[in-house]
């Protein structure tokens, strides 16, 4: 497990080295074009210079964007869950539209999107869906989508063509590592030996073969007296201690997730993070960052990075 962590860290550092090498290469290409244009006094190089400059600026912007992802869980895969709000078919159709939007975003940005749970709606749309998102910094990016999303449109399900408002919630959590590493400092252990109180023969009862290990910082105790050998009892007691500490760490992780769960907003008016308006005008507006666009179709086809970037710029230090 320790080796796996080190390999992951090496991979992350190598990725940054690659990014900087690419930036350096583009900067040199740009410099060469500029020098060539000067020496030749040839304006025909201007288009090449403009292209190289745009490419360099875009790469710098992408690197700055990635540098904002420094949270504990940002580099992890994630689970994205969508729930329709009150409103029956309207809300369920909106939830399905959001699912399609995120699937498109994932495809465009190189993520593997796997629908692992889907509850279909009554007649149309979905009541809920959970999508597993696999790829670099999946949680770091998609955490920006946590919250309630509001849709305003002329309902395709209303024969009178009235305007409807629908809500759906999006909830993103990081993937929890199944292998929680338990490191035990020997200095934190108090090891006691004593005579076994059980049946088993002369040696078991008369020699201090039983072992009790106390993890002083946590107060967790593990004991074993089933074997004739003190060494074997000590080995088994240590296994038991690690298992107990492992369970405690798992419960801590679950408590953290429960804390996040409790912070979820009600799926209703006034709690939305973003509004998608299809009528009487076209606009998508993020209420946390004030970023907005009239390209509603582009957003529904997965163009979300402008909103994600603005969120990270505003809240990356929180």
pLDDT digits (tens, 9 = 90+) for 5-30: 677 677 767 777 888 888 888 888 88
Instruction: State how far the Cα of 40 lies from the Cα of 217, in Å rounded to an integer.
Output: 73
Task: Considering only residues 114 and 104, tell me which one the structure prediction assigns the higher pLDDT.
Answer: 104
Per cent of the chain over pLDDT 70 is 87
Instruction: State how far the Cα of 99 lies from the Cα of 130, in Å rounded to an integer.
Output: 9
Asked if residues 265 and 167 have their Cβ atoms less than 8 Å apart, the reply is no
Tokens of 52: 């190289």
Q: Measuring CA to CA, which residue among 259, 262, 210 is closest to residue 233?
A: 210
DSSP lists the bridge partners of residue 272 as 148
Q: Which helix (H) or strand (E) holds 189?
A: strand 189-194
- Model confidence pTM above 0.85: no
pLDDT digits (tens, 9 = 90+) for 122-152: 888 999 999 989 998 899 999 999 999 999 9
pLDDT at residue 265, rounded to an integer: 55
Mean pLDDT of 190-204: 66
């Amino acid at each position: 497990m320790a080796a796996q962590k080190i390999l992951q860290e090496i991979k992350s550092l190598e990725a940054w080295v690659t990014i900087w090498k690419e930036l350096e290469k583009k900067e040199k290409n740009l410099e060469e074009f500029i020098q060539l244009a000067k020496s030749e006094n040839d304006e025909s190089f201007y288009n090449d210079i403009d292209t190289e400059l745009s490419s360099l600026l875009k790469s710098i912007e992408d690197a700055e964007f990635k540098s904002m992802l420094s949270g504990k869980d940002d580099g992890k895969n994630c689970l994205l869950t969508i729930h329709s709000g009150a409103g029956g078919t309207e809300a369920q159709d909106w939830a399905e539209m959001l699912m399609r939007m995120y699937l498109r975003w994932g495809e465009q940005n190189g993520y593997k999107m796997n629908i692992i749970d889907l509850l279909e709606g009554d007649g149309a749309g979905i009541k809920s869906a959970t999508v597993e998102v696999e790829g670099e910094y999946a949680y770091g990016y998609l955490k920006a989508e946590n919250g309630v999303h509001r849709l305003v449109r002329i309902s395709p399900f209303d024969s009178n063509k009235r305007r409807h408002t629908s809500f759906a919630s999006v909830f993103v959590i990081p993937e929890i590592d199944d292998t929680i590493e338990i490191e035990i400092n020997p200095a934190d252990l108090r090891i006691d030996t004593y005579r076994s109180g059980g049946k088993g023969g002369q040696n078991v009862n008369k020699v201090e073969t039983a072992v009790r290990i106390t993890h002083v910082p946590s107060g967790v105790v593990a004991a074993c007296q089933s074997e004739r050998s003190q060494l074997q009892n000590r080995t088994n007691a240590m296994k038991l201690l690690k298992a107990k500490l492992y369970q405690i760490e798992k419960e801590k992780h679950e408590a953290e997730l429960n804390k996040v769960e409790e912070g979820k907003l009600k799926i209703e008016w006034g709690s939305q993070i973003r509004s998608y308006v299809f009528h009487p005008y076209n606009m998508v507006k993020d209420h946390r960052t004030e970023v907005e666009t009239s390209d509603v179709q582009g957003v529904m086809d997965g163009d979300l990075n402008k909103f994600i970037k603005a969120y990270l710029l505003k809240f990356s230090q929180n």
